[in-house]
Amino acid sequence: MPENISFFAALAVGFFGGVHCVGMCGGIVGALTFGLPAEKRERFARLFPYLLAYNLARITSYTLAGVIAGGIGLLGMSLVPMQNAQLLLLVIAGGFMILMGLYVGGWWFGLTRIERAGSRLWRFIEPVGRRLMPVTTPTQAFGLGLVWGWLPCGLVYSVLIWALSAGSPLQGGLLMLGFGLGTLPNLLAMGAFAGQLSAFVRRPWVRRFAGGMVIAFGVYQIGLAAFGLAG
């Protein structure tokens, strides 16, 4: 998949997968929002710098993880023919994307097992974030967001596998940057309109539509890989 198409595809996956993010990360965003003094919490203009710092830091962590994944993928491709390795990783990433779409749509929840496996690493990282609370400045919010970016999440893991196939640390980082930016509108809105947005994304048709779109991207990736294998 060309790099520019990969970036915008990751952006779209982040946007539609953001329905899952609202459900999973809503409590974290709520804790940040409601932990602020009332005069900052009740006016969006004062709340926005905290939400922006928090989310930009989260996306920074995603991008760093993508750089690492892209580097690992490049190292692996040096041991086997690069094209074959990329196609295989693309198929695996597409498969995970389909599973994630089933999860987002509420049809299957097996990916929670992978999230539980990631929670072992989270146990070592989470205390760092706890020391940054309660948040009183945007700088603290940024630090907490850096920690939040490593929260166990099946959707993030699915895109990280995709980043493994990117071919380089730069492309892996760009792919995760696109994904993170795609999640931004949902999570910024979550901080400002928590109750209304939570109620909206709990509607079955919203989850099913978003899940269906993520599945479509997974099928598209597998199709690209199959075409490459056929070629």
Instruction: Give me the long-range contacts of 122-126 (CB less than 8 A, separation at least 24).
Output: 122/150, 122/151, 122/152, 125/150
More confident call, 9 vs 67: 67
Whether the predicted pLDDT of 143 surpasses 80:
yes
Res 65: pLDDT = 95
Predicted confidence (pLDDT) per residue in 146-189, tens digit: 988 888 887 888 888 888 888 789 999 999 999 999 988 877 77
H helix or E strand, kind and range, residue 20:
helix 3-34
The region of weakest confidence among 5-19, 42-56, 216-230 is 216-230
Q: What is the DSSP letter of 153?
A: -
Higher pLDDT, 172 or 78: 172
pLDDT, greater one: 29 or 168: 168
Domain residue extents for the chain: 3-230
Name the residue with higher pLDDT: 213 or 133.
213
**Residue 231: band (very low, low, confident or very high) from pLDDT cuts 50, 70, 90:** very low
Is the pLDDT reported for residue 76 higher than 70?
yes
The model's pTM: 0.83
Residue 28 binned pLDDT confidence (cut-offs 50, 70, 90): low
- Tokens 């991008």 correspond to what residue? 63
pLDDT > 90? residue 123: no
Q: Which residues contact 90 (CB under 8 A, 6 or more apart)?
A: 1, 162, 165, 221, 222, 224, 225, 228
pLDDT value of position 29:
67
Residue 227 has pLDDT above 90, yes or no: no
